[in-house]
Chains A and B, each alone.
Chain A
Amino acid sequence: EIVLTQSPGTLSLSPGERATLSCRASQSVSSNYLAWYQQKPGQAPRLLIYGASSRPTGIPDRFSGSGSGTDFTLSISRLEPEDFAVYLCQQYGSSPPTFGQGTEVEVK
Chain B
Amino acid sequence: QVLLVQSGAEVKMPGASVKLSCRASGYTFTSNYLHWVRQASGQGLEWMGTINPSAGTTRYAQKFQDRVTMTRDTSASAAYMEMSSLRPEDTALYYCARGSKWGYYYFDVWGKGTTVIVSS
Contact = CB atoms under 8 A, between A and B. Distances in A.
B110 A56 contact: no
Nearest to B98: A47
Contacts of A43: 112
Contact of B108 (A47, A96, A97): A47
Contacts, number: 48
Interface string B18-59: 000000000000000000000000001111000000000001
A102 interface: yes
Contacts of A56: 108
Nearest to B63: A96
A97 B112 CA distance: 20
Size bracket of the A interface: 20 to 34
Contacts of A50: 100, 104, 106, 108
A98 B37 CA distance: 10
A45 B45 contact: yes
A95 B64 CA distance: 14
Interface of A: 33, 35, 37, 43-47, 50, 56, 88, 90, 92, 95-102
Interface of B: 44-47, 59, 61-62, 95, 97, 100, 104-108, 110-113
Q: Which 5 A-B pairs have the closest CB atoms?
A: A44-B110, A92-B105, A35-B106, A99-B45, A97-B105
